[in-house]
Amino acid sequence: MIRIENLVKTFGPKRAVDGVSFNVERGEVLGFLGPNGAGKSTTMRMITGFMPPTSGKVTVGGHDVAESPLEAKRLIGYLPESAASYADMTVRGFLNFAAELRGLRGDARRRAVERVIELCFLRGVVRQSIDTLSKGYRQRTCLAQALIHDPEVLVMDEPTEGLDPNQKHELRNLIRRLGESKAIVFSTHILEEVDAACTRAIIIDRGKIVANGTPEELRSMSALAGAVTLSAHGANAEKLSSVGRVEDLGGAFRIYPREKSDASALAQAVVDLVAAEGWKVEGMYSERGELDEVFRRITLPDTAK
């Protein structure tokens, strides 16, 4: 649904987005990760047609955003950064306005507004003016606006920003559910969200894509991935070093595979060793790798890649 080819955006001498290309298909939820100022918002603004790219091309549902912006925009629902909305309007008034701009009239409009009020749990505040709402409700009101025409493409800039943990949880579930039938891109810098809602994640740093894969693939880039942590009575580092590289965690040992390709065999090797030595196992688990660590490693300029 979304095709991005070699997208570049410069602000003066600064290249905010520097040759970004990726596709998002229907049924995909793409998490857009990156440190602050990495170019996430700028990329999203170019997808939604708010900013023209310096060079490169964005097509949404086959429509070039630069050449036929209205056709492309009709397919997109957009939740901008900080959930901007007209503070002087009531929630219902605002949603009616958005529905009308999306070309919904009469009965269709009423049904669409009711649908998003239910979907985003806004029933209790429909008559309230937006400036009296809490951050969470404001976010949901703006999300409701983005969903009002049941768009095929949903673009959200930090949708869970400012929500409490319960609301975050609900929103992630909603994103996952919507993602079954739509193409969704959302940006975040909260890594757990990638696990909770995404089918794929892209990490962007200083305008460039530095990683692109499923959460599982990204996690396996972690140095920790495939390591086995063992805490067992009687275990010692010397014996363990026969199966892999050992790190003493104080009370427990972490054994890293010598080669990434040995990772699957490592756990078995450790189990065999424990059985042979007759150690009393208190705990043992295989590490999946941590997204945090991957994120830090590829986006921090001073850590070696």
Partner 1 sequence: MKPIWTIAKRELAAYFTSPVAYVFLVIFLLLTGFFTFTAGNFFERGEASLAAFFGWHPWLYLVLVPAVGMRVWAEERRSGTIELLLTMPVATWQAILAKFLASWIFLALALLLTFPAIVTVNILGDPDNGIIAAGYIGSFLLAGAYLAIACMTSAMTRNQVVAFILAVVVCLFLVLAGFNPVTDLMVRWASPAVVDTVAAFSVVTHYDAFQRGVIDSRDLLFFLSVIGFALFATGVIIRGHRSG
Task: List contacts with partner 1 (CB under 8 A).
Answer: 9-11, 16, 45, 48-52, 69-70, 73-74, 76, 78, 80-82, 84-89, 93, 97-98, 100-103, 129, 142, 145
Q: Of 65 and 221, which has the nearer Cβ to partner 1?
A: 65
Structure-block tokens of residue 188:
């975040």
CB 203 within 8 A of CB 299: yes
CB 82 within 8 A of CB 138: no
* Nearest residue to 251 via CA among 263, 238, 237, 241: 237
Around Cβ 170, how many Cβ atoms within 10 Å? 17
Q: Of 98 and 221, which has the nearer Cβ to partner 1?
A: 98
Q: Of 130 and 174, which has the nearer Cβ to partner 1?
A: 130
CB of 164 to partner 1, least distance (A): 22
CB of 78 to partner 1, least distance (A): 5
CB of 62 to partner 1, least distance (A): 16
CB of 187 to partner 1, least distance (A): 14
Instruction: Name all contacts of 294-303 with Cβ < 8 Å and 24+ positions apart.
Output: 294/203, 294/211, 294/218, 294/219, 294/221, 294/222, 295/33, 295/191, 295/203, 297/221, 297/222, 297/223, 298/203, 298/205, 298/210, 298/211, 298/221, 299/34, 299/35, 299/38, 299/203, 299/205, 299/210
Q: Of 82 and 128, which has the nearer Cβ to partner 1?
A: 82
Structure-block tokens of residue 275:
């059985």
Q: Of 145 and 222, which has the nearer Cβ to partner 1?
A: 145
Q: Of 101 and 275, which has the nearer Cβ to partner 1?
A: 101
CB 154 within 8 A of CB 146: yes
- Sign for the pseudo-dihedral over CA of 208, 211, 213, 218: negative
CB of 151 to partner 1, least distance (A): 11
CB 188 within 8 A of CB 32: yes
